[in-house]
Amino acid sequence: MRVCIFGSGLSALTLAKALVNEKIYVDLCYSNTNKKINKSRTLGISKSNFEYFNSNIINIEKIIWKLKKIEIYTDNLKNEKILNFQNNKDQLFSIIKNFELYEKLNKSLILNNYFNKIKLKKNFLDLKHYNLIINTDYSSILTKKYFNKKIIKKYNSYAFTTIIKHKNIPNNIATQIFTKFGPLAFLPISKNETSIVYSISGSLIKNQDLINLIRKYNFKYKIKKIENPAYFELKSFVLRSYYNNNILAFGDLLHRIHPLAGQGFNMTIRDIKILIEIIKNKIDLGLPIDSSVNTEFEKKTRHKNFIFTNGIDLIYEFFNFERKLNNNSISKYVKFVGNNPSLNKLLTEIADRGITF
């Protein structure tokens, strides 16, 4: 069996590693060799996905930073805590630097006999001898031909990312603050470093204005340095069609969500788990690996991804509506509901495992 993956980002590399671990031949096809890796970007990985990653993809124990608690605050209650998720016995969530995960996956794949990298010339490749073609690349000819129909939502916002260096503290609590400018996340990555993701409504702002806002809302860290920030426009989307025959859209090309809950890469890991299970089951039963894999994958994931994507969007709109009203009644209600142990446990499980029904 041979699979072709278009793209060279984290989704493509992670899926490629999962496939070669099952002794499936993978050709990774790429065209952009000059793309720089943003070293200020980080990923959140839930506990269950971390365990799956270690067992089935590659061990990332040494490059993640474990969090035991996530605290949610809001401007409208004068930075009063409204939600609290925690796991005192083990990690609740983990944070990892994008470029460190990229380098680890890339080095491992280069040494694997089941893996091959192909640099595309004029974005052309003969695809006839592949059982499956999986596309994660926005700029590929496959995207333009088969996956250009999507439901898009623009947030009229930009996400700014940076890393602050500060004095050593235990640093195992992540903080999300719904400010009057948009959601701001402090995501620890070591005892003396914390990743920042700030989604600011409206037009771009100057770096110094961003730094001033970070300092304004920081109540925990004695900051020594703030790295130069990067930014990207915020939008969410879902594809109308997951596949065309034996060509499957995957990763951020399939679904993109608002970064406020740190769930984008977690959705991709859950998709990988389901796709690998489908392929393994067909191999065990002696069934062909063809377009039926994509049909089954869409059937198993489409409704879950749709509900999860809209759930994240609802959270954003919930607090965005309150921000526009300049009223704290919604935050008070969230705080009241969040104090219910059963509901708190349910929300924690959904954040960890996604939609499971």
CATH code, domain carrying 102: 3.50.50.60
Give the single-character DSSP code of 253: G
- Order of strands across the sheet with 93-97? 42-46, 93-97, 64-67
Report how far apart, in Å, the C-alpha atoms of 29 and of each of 2, 12, 131, 170, 242 are.
13, 10, 15, 42, 20
* Predicted pLDDT of residue 88: 65
Q: Which of 219, 202, 208, 172 is nearest to 78 (CA)?
A: 219
Residues counted in the chain: 357
Please give the tally of structural domains in the chain: 1
Compute the half-sphere exposure of residue 212: CA atoms within 13 Å on the CB side of its CA.
Answer: 6
Is 171 strand, coil or helix? coil
Residue 133: what pLDDT? 96
Amino acid (1-letter code) at residue 6: F
CB 127, CB 142: distance < 8 Å = no
Which one-letter DSSP state was computed for residue 88? S
**Can you give the residue range of the structural domain that contains 66?**
2-353
Is pTM beyond 0.75 here? yes
Please give the chain's pLDDT, 357 residues, in tens: 899 999 999 999 999 999 999 999 999 998 865 566 777 889 999 999 999 999 999 999 999 999 999 999 988 776 678 888 887 667 889 999 999 999 999 999 999 999 999 988 765 678 888 999 999 998 888 998 999 888 899 999 999 999 999 999 999 999 999 998 999 999 999 999 999 999 999 889 999 999 999 999 999 999 999 999 999 999 998 899 999 999 999 999 999 998 988 899 999 999 999 999 999 999 999 999 999 999 999 999 999 998 988 888 888 887 887 777 777 776 776 777 677 888 788 878 888 888 776
pLDDT in the model for residue 160: 95
Confirm if 189 and 86 have CB atoms less than 8 A apart. Answer: no
Measured between alpha carbons, how far apart are the two ends of the chain, in Å? 31
The Cα-based distances of 7 to 27, 53, 337 in angstroms read 10, 20, 43
Q: Which of 90, 89, 104, 10 lies closest to 46 in space, CA to CA?
A: 90
Instruction: Please name the helix (run of DSSP H) or strand (run of DSSP E) that holds residue 165, with its range, or none.
Output: strand 150-166
